Amino acid sequence: MHYNKNRYATDKKVADNITESWLCVDCGVNTAPGIPDGPTTRIEMALKGTAKSRLGPDSEVYTVWPKLWKKAGMKPWDGCLCIGCLEKRLGRKLKHSDFDPSDPFNQEPVCSKGTERLLDRRRNHKWEPPGKFSWNDE
């Protein structure tokens, strides 16, 4: 798993950028079943120097723009939301431009893995053929 050292959380109890829990705070679904929670990750990092993780068709790991996250009533490092619960909070379906392309969770190879629902929202349906993914809005 890639941890961006430039995005350390300063408002968490532990000053790192490791997600504490991958469970959706609204419905409880595990948004990243192949990634250990924060405490487990820290223990593995301390003991082994690495923590194994996997993303697959059951994962909903993403980052939306901070303004949109705030609009959903979330604070930075406030927990995870599955796509369905985020959309419910926003009152609309997510679209391609809602995702921050500068975030590693929205870049290759991570962005090509996930639930059909997540992959569908990341696609630019204006021009892109099915099965392809791009951040280019031209």
Say what the pLDDT of residue 52 is. 87
Rounded CA-CA distance 54/34 in Å is 5
Bridge partners (DSSP) listed for residue 80: 24
Q: What percent of the chain has pLDDT over 70?
A: 77
Question: How many residues comprise the chain?
Answer: 138
How many angstroms separate the CA atoms of 91 and 30, rounded?
A: 22
Query: Is the bond preceding residue 104 a cis peptide, omega within 30 degrees?
Result: no
30 contact partners, CB below 8 Å, separation of at least 6: 22, 23, 24
CA distance 124 to 133: 7
Q: What is the pTM of this model?
A: 0.75
State the Cα–Cα distance between residues 109 and 88, nearest whole angstrom: 28
pLDDT of residue 129: 42
pLDDT digits (tens, 9 = 90+) for 60-73: 999 999 999 999 99
